[in-house]
Amino acid sequence: MAWTIAIAPDCPVALYGDALRLEQILLNLIGNALKFTERGAIQVEVRQVEGSAEEPPPTEAVPVAAIAWPRRRIVLAFTVRDSGIGLAQEQIDALFRPFVQADGSTTRPYGGTGLGLSLSKHLVELMGGRIGVESNPGEGAVFHFTIVCAERLDGADGRVVQRFGPPARIPRPAQWDEIDYGKIIDQMGGTRLLLVEDMPINQQVARELLEGVGIHVDVAQNGAMAVHLVAGGRYDAVLMDIQMPVMDGYEATRAIRTDRRFAALPIIAMTAHAMTGDREKVLAAGMNDHVSKPIDPGQLFAVLLAHLQPGEREPVDRESLRQRLCPPAGTAPAPEEIPGIDMASALGRVMGNQALLTQLLQTFQRDYATTAQAVRDALAQGASERARRLVHQIKGVAGNIGAHAVFAAARTLEQAIEQGRTDDWPALTAAF
């Protein structure tokens, strides 16, 4: 099987758009191409078909027209081409309906529910685009779609259409003193946001980032509390963790969306999951986007900026915030090195606040000193789900404090528990 990706040279490398939904569409189309192509080739092409300084048309999923900075409207065209079994015209006519596959004969050998293409059509239209297919039996298929994005005209960093979930290693955030926090304060200062997160260390990291640029933050420790606070408050956005006690992020989002007052409220998932099923659940629950864990300040602020609507903001002392976050060059003291901790990465996630980072490290040592033994005990007792939850908790926290080795060991062990690879547990728990 030959596999190629061709990106036209005039395509911008950084755009504001809906990365999560775009990836879901591509996964569905490429997955279908792989499923129905036993040999030959699959090619993905990306090109720019339109770019102007006009206002992009408003869409439900990508409110780029509401962003106040100078921008250029960008329409990207994607093509997924395969040399598989192809489609007849009557099959094409019904292909984007729910629960429809090519025909009965393909349902049995290839499997699937037939929801992927229907979902893809829905997501493309949410992003102001169109989707279609050209094919003949035995001649492969060409699926093509367009989406609307926006590009900054002043050269500032945009939100790259990024990967969903954690890459092979923890991404190192930009140095805290390399981010233009002055601009972020101007654009987001005075915003009110609800942070839904059950882990105290993760709460502290997120609050430091958000309050540091003048965002007013309320905290809910579980989904049920989030539903209650949203119903009685006024928030410009919600940052929603996924795995929480009492009520998880999916159920909380669905409950919030039942109230028409909050149909357009931006709800951003915070997740370290990268499985296709988790992507579908995020979209189906009604969330607008995601930020990955551990938190990357640049990604967090870019995603919030892409979804926050213009409007009246609460008062905030912008000058004091600038003085604290934008010190003269060369005045920031060098951090002390701690074995096992990437200090530069950790400081980047707390905006250079060394006192807070020291406190978080001490809290981590105190709260999780016995977690490894608790995981071993749970596995020995057959309580694998309890063990997985413990490992998941420590994974999220370790990433935020720069404990890369702990993060990697926890992620590997969590995957082994989820997949039931019992033979691997002893070695992985020893490493953990």
Residue range 292-344, pLDDT digits in tens:
777 877 778 888 887 887 766 777 776 776 666 654 444 445 456 777 888 87
Residue 238 in this model has a pLDDT that exceeds 90: yes
Residue range 37-74, pLDDT digits in tens:
888 888 999 998 865 444 434 333 333 333 444 457 78
Structural domains of the chain, with CATH:
2-152 (3.30.565.10), 176-316 (3.40.50.2300), 354-431 (no CATH)
Cβ-contact 54, 142 below 8 angstroms = no
DSSP per position, 146-167: EEEEEEESS-------PPSS--
The token pair that represents 313 in the structure block = 């903001």
Q: Which of 15-24, 156-165, 208-217, 238-247 has the lowest mean pLDDT?
A: 156-165
Q: Which residues are registered as beta bridge partners of 373?
A: none
Closest by Cα among 294, 310, 258 to 64: 310
Four-point Cα dihedral 422, 423, 426, 429, nearest 10:
-50
- Mean pLDDT across 267-279: 68
Residue range 340-368, pLDDT digits in tens:
888 877 877 777 777 788 888 888 888 88
- Does an H or E element contain 110, and which? helix 104-110
Residue range 373-397, pLDDT digits in tens:
999 999 999 999 999 989 988 887 8
**Residues in CB range of 391: below 8 A, 6 or more apart:** 375, 410, 413, 414, 417, 432
Alpha helices by DSSP H, 214-264? 223-232, 249-257
Separation between Cα atoms, residue 68 and residue 86, nearest integer Å: 45
Q: Could you give phi then psi for residue 400, rounded to 5 degrees?
A: -70, -20
**Residues in CB range of 402: below 8 A, 6 or more apart:** 341, 342, 343, 344, 345, 346, 349
More confident call, 158 vs 118: 118
Separation between Cα atoms, residue 33 and residue 204, nearest integer Å: 44
Chain-wide mean pLDDT for the chain?
Answer: 76
Map residue 71 onto helix, strand or coil.
strand
Map residue 143 onto helix, strand or coil.
strand
pLDDT bin (cut points 50, 70, 90) of residue 158 is: very low
Cβ-contact 297, 209 below 8 angstroms = yes
Q: What angle do CA 260, 264, 268 make, to 5 degrees?
A: 120
Closest by Cα among 53, 83, 84 to 153: 53
Map residue 255 onto helix, strand or coil.
helix
